[in-house]
Amino acid sequence: MDIRPIRPAAARLFPTAHRVTALAGPPARPAVQAVLDRAVADGGLPGVLAGIHAPGGRWYGTAGVADTATGRPRGAADHFRIGSITKTFVATVMLRLVAEHAVSLDDTVETWLPGLVTGGGHDGWRVTIRRLLNHTSGIFNYTNDPGALSVEPTYSPRRLVEIAMGHPASFAPGDGWEYSNTNYVLAGMIIEKAGRAPLAEQIAAHITEPLDLPGTYLPTGDDETLPAPHSRHYTALHDPSPDAVVHDITEMNTTPYWAAGAMVSTVDDLDRFLAALLGGKLLPHELRREMFTTVPTHDWIDGTRYGLGVTSLTLPGGTELWGMGGAIFGSWTYAYGDRDGSRVLSVNTNGDRTTGGGWDDPIAVFTDVLTAEFTRP
């Protein structure tokens, strides 16, 4: 992992807005573009990128920079890390294996990974795959132990689960809801057993190759790179202070996140994936119904309910959207659309904190972007 402080002079580039709007044809989105511009000029984000697929065509808008050292503007084709949107890909692969009768949502973790989930109130016999995918397992979230993730150079999935097993379970399986990255590490391990191939290969075979998503993949091994073109990723490492040092963390070992949040993509690929998923091109009807059966969330994102790797999000005005958000150091992303996938929007920031504009974090920026698009006349 390469963590470099950015030069103070580079930080002055943040308020500079650069627009790359629409390919010829699609209707203009002045309200969306205005939010992007304010996110940089007032919100202090280095750069922001949005892509929209709608019946009128594709639209792209950017503001700010991809690289604070050079001033290179964000581009519509930028690659970036998508964090927990990885979970939507993993859940989709799992459900496709269910469709092939390779696994069942009612199978237990103990059936597939014997002896791994045990101790401290954890019971692999009581945790089903469904409970992994909708975060009702009660399994401790290993990323809540940051100290354990700063010791080793790389982490195997089994080691991540072992970190979680060193803590008490949050609740008995099925008795609550809590977002836990451990759930999706376990899901990825089950996919590898049931599908008899590495998770990265199964994501490619089930999703990215059939849909022709050339910029989307799960890194393998300790690959720290991003393909060109890409934005630099800037993080304050959770330091909320006004004078926090901002670090360039673009080259990053993502083995601590794997099936929970390590994938790379682009806004165009995310839009195409989400449109296909919502539009019924990836799963049969009965499994789409399973995926979009939601449970209430707690102490998480306002207005959300959680399904199997997807969320429903109700905007302040009452509009309901479907998709997922993801955050990883220096890169925050939302991908949401109408229930039928007719209109989808993906948006990414290459910084993970806001410093003004009335926004507490990039999620608030994303909410304003979605509101500008999905509640317009």
Q: What is the 3-state secondary structure (H, E, C) of 259-322?
A: HHHCCEECHHHHHHHHHHHHCCCCCCHHHHHHHCCCEECCCCCCCEEECCCCEEEECCCCCEEE
The model's pLDDT over 274-300, given as tens digits with 9 standing for 90+, comes to: 999 999 999 999 999 999 999 999 999
Nearest Cα to 358, choosing from 106, 41, 33, 31?
Answer: 41
Please give the structure tokens belonging to residue 234. 């800037």
From the candidates 84, 180, 331, 346, which is the catalytic residue? 84
265 in Cβ contact with 327 (< 8 Å) = no
| pLDDT at site 142 | 98
SS (H, E, C) 24-77: CCCCCCHHHHHHHHHHHHCCCCCEEEEEEEECCEEEEEEEEECCCCCCCECCCC
Helix, strand, coil in percent for the chain, rounding step 5: 30, 20, 50
Indicate if the pLDDT at residue 1 is higher than 80. Answer: no
Residue 241's pLDDT band (cuts 50, 70, 90): confident
Q: Where in the chain is the domain with CATH 3.40.710.10?
A: 4-82+216-283+294-374, 87-201
87-201 domain in CATH 3.40.710.10?
Answer: yes
Residue 217 phi, psi (nearest 5): -165, 160
| pLDDT at site 26 | 63
Indicate if the pLDDT at residue 246 is higher than 80. Answer: yes
Write down the mean pLDDT value for the chain. 93
- C-beta neighbour count of 37 within 10 angstroms: 19
Percent of the chain beyond pLDDT 90? 90
- For every residue of 104-167, DSSP letters joined together read -TT-BHHHHSTTTSEETTEETTT-BHHHHHTT-S----GGG-GGGGGSSSS--HHHHHHHHHTS
Indicate if the pLDDT at residue 11 is higher than 90. Answer: no
Indicate if the pLDDT at residue 80 is higher than 90. Answer: yes
Helix pair 86-99, 267-278: axis angle to 10 deg: 40
d(CA 54, CA 345): 9
Indicate if the pLDDT at residue 2 is higher than 90. Answer: no
**CATH for 4-82+216-283+294-374, among 3.40.710.10, 3.20.20.10, 3.40.640.10, 3.30.413.10?**
3.40.710.10
The model's pLDDT over 85-120, given as tens digits with 9 standing for 90+, comes to: 999 999 999 999 999 999 999 999 999 999 999 999
d(CA 121, CA 167): 9
Q: Is-catalytic flag, 84? A: yes
Residues 6+ apart with CB under 8 A from 155: 149, 255, 256, 258
| pLDDT at site 17 | 39
The model's pLDDT over 345-371, given as tens digits with 9 standing for 90+, comes to: 999 999 999 999 999 999 999 999 999
Indicate if the pLDDT at residue 4 is higher than 60. Answer: no
The model's pLDDT over 136-175, given as tens digits with 9 standing for 90+, comes to: 999 999 999 999 999 999 999 999 999 999 999 999 999 9
- Tokens 């964090």, residue? 83
Residue 240's pLDDT band (cuts 50, 70, 90): confident
Q: What Rg value do the Cα atoms of the chain yield, rounded?
A: 20
